[in-house]
Amino acid sequence: AQSVTQPDIHITVSEGASLELRCNYSYGATPYLFWYVQSPGQGLQLLLKYFSGDTLVQGIKGFEAEFKRSQSSFNLRKPSVHWSDAAEYFCAVGGDDKIIFGKGTRLHILP
Amino acid sequence: GAGVSQSPSNKVTEKGKDVELRCDPISGHTALYWYRQSLGQGLEFLIYFQGNSAPDKSGLPSDRFSAERTGGSVSTLTIQRTQQEDSAVYLCASSLTRSNTGELFFGEGSRLTVL
């Protein structure tokens, strides 16, 4: 069965620092991988997705993610975070089966 | 409409009552998903529809939960004999893509509180 693990429930970084949010997945076939963001009081929004091809994908708001098949990972990165990036981030996996989400990582930004 | 619409946005009910939550997807979107979001539990998959059929109902927590979709459009999630543990935000999403590979567009959710 497919599954998604986000090991970090909370992460705190200083504004301007780099960020990496971890995501590990389990899926029997080629995964379709997504990162969504849920800002306070707002709905979920797609940041980026990976289907095939280049394993480094670029998304909105300066985010990128790298697919590593050997590690079953799809970590989200940003070189320099802004206070407006404080939100909850969800990794998801889809494909032939349903789309399921991890439990999320809440990002806190220190001024 | 322009986006996914869910109603009611807030629902407070007494334990044992039935509730219906409605989702109106983006026009033309064939896939429709229901998730439940509880504190610390992330987005829990409940059910998804391709057109009017539900290929996967495995996420429904118990037989008190049911969902239907009519006309390939509006969907209703029904919870019978509500329990306090049903309190959560119920999110609906729709997708243009049929194969669980496309972007999901989410509604604002229906917050259910069971007293």
pLDDT at position A53 is: 84
Distances (CA, A) of B75 to A86, B24, B52, B71: 32, 7, 9, 9
Tell how strand B10-13 and strand B110-114 pair up.
parallel
Question: Does an H or E element contain A37, and which?
Answer: strand A32-38
Digitized pLDDT (tens) for each residue of chain B, 115 residues in all: 589 999 999 999 999 999 999 999 999 999 999 999 998 788 999 999 998 898 888 899 999 999 999 888 999 999 999 999 999 999 999 998 777 778 899 999 999 999 9
CA–CA separation, B83 and A74 (whole Å) = 37
Instruction: Choose among A87, A32, A53, A103: nearest CA to B45.
Output: A103
Asked if residues B69 and B32 have their Cβ atoms less than 8 Å apart, the reply is yes
Give residue-wise pLDDT tens across range B69-102: 988 899 999 999 999 999 999 999 999 877 777 8
Chain pair A-B, CB pairs under 8 angstroms: 57
Q: Which of B41, B99, B109 sits opposite A103 (nearest CB)?
A: B41
* B41 has a chain A CB within 8 A of its CB: yes
Find, in chain A, the residue whose alpha carbon is nearest to that of B36: A101
Asked if residues B35 and B42 have their Cβ atoms less than 8 Å apart, the reply is no
Distances (CA, A) of B28 to B19, B67, B79, B104: 27, 20, 27, 13
Distances (CA, A) of B82 to A49, B12, B37, B96: 36, 11, 16, 32
Q: Which of B41, B48, B109 sits opposite A98 (nearest CB)?
A: B48
Q: Please tell me whether the peptide bond between B8 and the residue prior to it is cis, using omega within 30 degrees of 0.
A: yes
pLDDT at position A28 is: 78
pLDDT band for position A13 (cuts 50, 70, 90) = very high
Residues in B closer than 8 angstroms to A33, CB to CB, are none
Q: Which residue has the higher pLDDT, B24 or A28?
A: B24
pLDDT at position B1 is: 54
Give residue-wise pLDDT tens across range A49-95: 998 888 999 999 999 999 999 999 999 999 999 999 999 999 999 87
Question: Does an H or E element contain B13, and which?
Answer: strand B10-13
Residues in A closer than 8 angstroms to B107, CB to CB, are 43
In angstroms, the first-to-last Cα distance of chain B is 33
Mean pLDDT score across all residues of chain A: 93
Instruction: Choose among B38, B39, B63, B58: nearest CA to B48.
Output: B58
